[in-house]
Structure 1
Amino acid sequence: MSTRRTFLHTLGLGAGLSALAPTLLSATPSKTAAGRPAQKLRVAIMGLGSYGTRVAEAMKSCTSAELVGIVTGSPEKIPVWKSKYNIPDKNVYNYETIGQMKNNPDIDAVYVITPNSLHHKHVMQVAAAGKHAICEKPMADTAKHAQDMIDACEKAGVKLLIGYRLHFEPYTRKVIEMLRAGEMGKIMHVDNYQGFKIGDPTQWRLKKNLAGGGALMDVGIYCLNAARYLTAEEPVWVTAQETKTDPVKFAEVDETITFQLGFPSGIIATCATTYNFNFERLYVVGTKGFAEMSPAYGYGPLKGRTHKGPLEEPVVTHQTLQMDGMADIILNGKTVTPAVDGYEGLKDMKVIDAIYKSIKEGSKKVMLG
């Protein structure tokens, strides 16, 4: 099995996309006579931290997207990135000069991978520059900011996509397909957890003005988003509880949050997220069967099983599949279900706002309209 997994991982997108083509997008990309994509999405990465680097490395294997530019506030990173990714001088920007990108026809889209509370400002700048925006999750720090971002992109006539990489990931998609096909019967319950023990106490994730929130915003959003796509419903109420074992380290942001989501059909999802210990699990049970994934939300390899046995799906680089899928959405107008657009991000942000409201009001039930 390890040999097969290694082989599939090496194949990367080629194996993964061919396996997912019937269900991932509404159609395949247009091709040239030589069998290559008719056009590549030319992307600039905004924010050259660890995840920006991960995306850049993954894009080396993309067939429909390519890294052509950077936006950074760290001048010392510029020569390294220029050399490593063959970035020309004309495609290098900082946070003050991004408006000049409007005059650069060689960049189609900007992937915003800056701290959460900066997403709103930076997507607004990208829209003003007339470029398509891909924004890492969580979309923003409030639902209001998320709506602002949608409005700005629509006014500018550009697309806004959110970095929900798991919407393209084979194990996740397999579980969704089984649920939609009724293989597990009527869904009865969802149980999702995601957390890790955070390290450096000085990092931006622990600063409210940059992170917007703590574990919930960072990794709890996976549990929330999964509850929505597993049920194919939108929650109508939420209750939540917060605990802190280290009030000094987590003085500005949440450490551990448990929350419950009520859905129109009567399904209740129980979810938890933390910065205090490592755990990761997705579980959904229906009248005819179940699905479980653990690991479920990390960068892989993911593992899972259902009432029919172990899941055996292609092991791919998530961000490679994501960027090729998003290129097809932007260039060819394709769609993916669950969605990865700004409205999908807004739905999550509305629930996150309600979770924080419930905690503030002593774990009271908050209704969602």
Structure 2
Amino acid sequence: MKLVHSSGSLSHLSYCSNIHAGESWQAVRENLQRYIPGIRDALVPGEEFGIGLRLSAAAVNDLAQAEALQEFRQFLAQNNLYVFTINGFPYGPFHGTRVKEDVYLPDWMDEERLRYTNQLADVFASILPDEQNGSISTVPGAFKERVAGSDDIRQMADNMVRHAAHLAQLHQNTGKFITLALEPEPCCFLETIDESVHFFSQELFGDASTDLMASLTHTDVDSARELLRKHLTLCLDLCHAAVEFEDPDECLAKLEAAGITVGKLQISSGLRLKDVSASTVDSLEPFIDKVYLHQVVERHNGTLNRFTDLPEAIEHLGNSQESREWRVHFHVPIFLEELADFSSTQSFVAAMLSRHKKKPISDHLEVETYTWDVLPAELRTQSVDQAIVREMRWVLEALS
């Protein structure tokens, strides 16, 4: 849906369709038909409604066919819908099977990640409304332990620059402007704002990337640098930032000072245990699942300690009764502040939306609670579409 700010600027708000299981285009298309019209009518009857679309490699390959594209355009037009952002993070299966650290594969060291993201952009350009900018969120480079050194970092940057050149050419050929938005996440190559600022400043906006961009786009260095800054952006996921104990004001100030655009603001909330010890950790057992990683960042005696998954953090805690705070990468409905024995990072979401209301952070806002299928049963007391509507209304209230 379209939100007009007091300044007259426009933002687009939706939810990410990765909450619905489906890897093929047929499955995605059926989910859109099943859920989107009803959610639209509950929120903005009679008005345009934007879609945050998730497409796997298999789905985008099917949608790239002329017949499928034409049918989808008709569906969008008939239902007063439009697509303004695509989640290009999960390449393969994302529900009902082990995902864990494989969700980052292929990463940006792999040519296949570049090929897939280029195809996403090509398909996106064919459905993106005229005069509407688009964004594609993507993995934060790679899972951190896979990055061995400077050669790997340069390989990731080069592939991202090659994609930026593809986006620039696409804009020139079609008039459709699309950005790539890297999404920092705990235990990844880019996990903090400081790491992101360093990578953008030193690598993506640095001399080597600028020279490569100039060569690929046949432009001068100044034009190439401007194209890089336009097409390479950040996806600020609020769950991830809160789990990393980021400060809202410092976070935004650092990005602005570095000239990094927030191409997408993902509105999500994680778990927060303000006072965890061996006697209280049992409350987290229902959140351990075999599908997703649930990274933990611990604040203990003024130091941040990171764990790749909940079981690892629990094992490290052992029998210690010494208090510390945990924040867990497990997306929970954003309208929940208290969850039985612990709370959520909802206050961080509210703080960021308060700042967005005063000065827009991004043109693209997307609610993302993809973990619906693995939430403990007591948190799934309504249907998924009812929960989505409730989340969207919570955001609208926060921005009102």
TM-score normalised to structure 2 length: 0.29
Higher helix share: 2
Comparing both chains, which one has the higher relative contact order based on Cα–Cα distances under 8 Å and sequence gaps of 6 or more? Answer: 1
TM-score normalised to structure 1 length: 0.31
